[in-house]
Structure 1
Amino acid sequence: MRTCLVVDDSSVVRKIARRILEGMDFQIVEAEDGAKALEACKQAMPEAVLLDWNMPVMDGYEFLGHLRRMPGGDAPKVVFCTTENGIDHISRAIHAGANEYIMKPFDKDIIAAKFQEVGLVPLPEPTVA
């Protein structure tokens, strides 16, 4: 089973993301800040990371820089999930190694679409009429 690391300082956001991603057949690991997320990655590198930007201890941007420099840290697909919607934030995230970017609040359809775009979830089969 594929693993997704959900990194957010809000337990409510982590719970919602967990429910959505478990429905997409992901095993979930949670971290409430970037430092704890790095420790989780050292234990077992996930296939996906759903990453908040603004967190205490270590923010998502700093975590992403550390992740991408770790052995195997180039492999996970990273989707930033944040309230930061300025083009400068999006550009910084992509240049730092994020694969995609979604805005809070999110729902199942938004996460599914972004995970499909980065190749984590297969595209739905076309229906034939």
Structure 2
Amino acid sequence: MLTSYPQKIIYSGTGRRKKSVARVNLIPGSGKLIINGLSGESYLQFSPNYLRISCLPLKILGLDKEYDIYVKAEGGGLTGQADAIRLGLARALCHINTDNRVMLKSEGLLRRDARNKERKKYGLRKARKAPQYSKR
């Protein structure tokens, strides 16, 4: 989706993973990551793995320092949010240039991971864990 503001062009994309939803906005800039009003490093608890996952689409396309990333993330935990940010960022990059889609798709970054937590069933302790069987 392309939104135009005075002297700013914003590209946006939405990513989902587990219970997490991330709305990603890309603005031409210096490459900073802002999540829910905090810097990306502090929000993702300075985890290099989460930071790497979140910014992977930009690194693959070589656009690390070209765009500022503003994210509104909600629901789930940090792992789900990092993956949701990655998908939203990849979708936003496809709006910028359609040639980006081929490269991102070959890396598997445009595929939504549909795995969710399985519901708990009655008579069981968790989704599949049963109480201990006693023969006598």
Pick the TM interval, shorter chain. Answer: under 0.3
Give the number of the structure with larger relative contact order, counting CA–CA contacts within 8 Å between residues 6 or more apart.
2
Larger Rg, first or second structure (1 or 2): 2
TM-score (normalised: structure 1): 0.27
Q: Which has the higher helix share?
A: 1
Q: Which has the higher strand share?
A: 2
